[in-house]
Amino acid sequence: MHCAVVREPANPTMTAILVTGATGFIGQATCKALLSAGHAVTAATRAAPGQVHVRPVAVGDIGPDTDWSAALAGCEVVVHLAAHVHVLSGKAADVTGDFHRVNVEGSENLALQSARAGVRRLVFLSSVKVYGDVSKQRAFIESDRFEPTDAYGASKAEAEVRLKACCAESGMELVILRPPLVYGPGVRANFLSLLRIVDARWPLPVASITNRRSLVYVGNLVDALGVCLGHPAAANRTFFVSDGHDVSTPQLVREIASALGKTPLLFPFPPSLLRGAGLLTGRREQLVRLTESLQVDISSIKSTLSWNAPFSLHQGLAATASWYRTRSD
């Protein structure tokens, strides 16, 4: 399995870093990579994490009243990964309020306390969903206008605005990364479902789809986060990050099948009818992901930070398939 590695700066020095959401899919990979690079890592979660060699600090639920003082003590850089992402079953009421409280007010509160604690740089993980679910004539670039289509995307967009204002006033540096779909060992939700479907060799009506979608392997995302920790040119900049190799839905299914050692069963079906079925069955979002394009342009991070994805899509899917085969859940 490929491991994410944070690249060392020209004159490597240990940096004290606070990582929020440290027990999550991306957080665990980030902490492991930062530790391997020799940094001192404080891991902030709802409950103390089990990773060895991190300084665990339980901060409870994230919101406007969270006390970050213990977690921020001695930290120079904050990597803010924690977010409210999914709607829990049976919790349909006040969904927008949940996203706003955690992702907007919680992030702003962390930034304000970080500035007061003397943190020099905040690295914030945002999302391509600040632009919605579909890129039309071309890939998104960082200066495009926000057009979120759900509460999560809207909360990330508002969080970006508030963090920029906070950092402009305090002088703390801000770096924003906007990834598309993140996959890799430990992935959950829709990508794990797709792995299971392809592994079971269910027939899939996607052969006629000609879309293009950007993805990012967690190892590539963590590598980009590592570069953004201290690169002088990253200060107060926003970047898209991806594997740099966009694929159509049928191409992705074939790549996953190959990584799993399976032969995919794909058959043609009009994409317009698939989208209509999504509306009728209440699965519009899933069908949009299957049929529409969502691409990001990563030329800015490549030219500004000299960053290139260290892992290919093939390598990322191979690592994901290896994990999938040995997972315990």
* Inter-residue contact 308 to 239 (CB < 8 Å): no
Q: In what order do the strands lie in the sheet with 16-20?
A: 55-58, 40-45, 16-20, 77-80, 121-125, 173-178, 237-240
Q: Which DSSP string do the residues of 90-127 spell out, in sequence order?
A: T--TTHHHHHIIIIIIHHHHHHHHHHHTT--EEEEE--
Single-letter code of the amino acid located at 211? N
Report DSSP letters for 149-190, one per residue.
-SHHHHHHHHHHHHHHHHHHHH--EEEEEE-SEEESTT--HH
Q: Which of 152, 183, 217, 324 is catalytic?
A: 152
Total Cβ atoms within 10 A of residue 249 = 24
Are 51 and 24 in contact by the 8 Å Cβ rule? The answer is no
Residues 6+ apart with CB under 8 A from 262: 198, 199, 201
Please indicate whether residue 152 is annotated as part of the active site.
yes
Encoding tokens for residue 26?
Answer: 């991306």
Q: Is residue 279 helix, strand or coil?
A: helix
Structure tokens belonging to residue 276? 């209509």
For residues 258 and 223, the answer to whether their CB atoms sit within 8 Å is: no
| 28 three-class SS | helix
Which tokens belong to 108? 């702003």
Helix (H), strand (E) at residue 41: strand 40-45
- Residues with active-site annotation: 152
